[in-house]
Amino acid sequence: MSTATQKGKQVGRMVRPLKIRKGDLVEVIAGKDRGKRGKVVQTFPRENRVLVDGVNLVVRHQKRTPTSRATPQTQTGRVTKPAPLHVSKVMLVCPRCNQRTRIATSFTQDGKRVRTCKKCKEYIDSV
């Protein structure tokens, strides 16, 4: 198909920072958890995924594995934990107007880059 992927090298695949960051409040807009809100616990820019607290819970059937005794498993059986979901499935909730919104990037007078709410035009990040 494409010649750029020969020799196994990932040419031209840039990892861009996500617009959503750790600590942001987001709302899920697709999938079974639609409408749920939660805080971003972790971001995965490479996979374009975010881990949201209490959202996209999956039940893992954790088995006892014969690993070393130095690291005993703390949890076995049914473990419920959140799984990362794609950034396109969540939208940032603006801390100012409390609506889910798209993000614009703008600069302050001293050249600092800040994220701006497209709805109320307020800064999302503290300046």
For Zn ion, the binding residues (CB under 5 A) are 94, 96-97, 117, 119-120
- In the bound state with Zn ion, the residue whose beta carbon lies nearer, of 112 and 118, is 118
- Least Å from the CB of residue 23 to Zn ion: 17
Select from 37, 3, 44 the least CA-distant residue to 20: 44
Give the Å distances, CA to CA, from 126 to 54, 113, 122.
26, 11, 10
- In the bound state with Zn ion, the residue whose beta carbon lies nearer, of 25 and 86, is 25
- In the bound state with Zn ion, the residue whose beta carbon lies nearer, of 36 and 123, is 123
- Least Å from the CB of residue 39 to Zn ion: 17
Per the structure block, which two tokens stand in for 93? Answer: 């909730």
Select from 102, 41, 85, 98 the least CA-distant residue to 115: 102
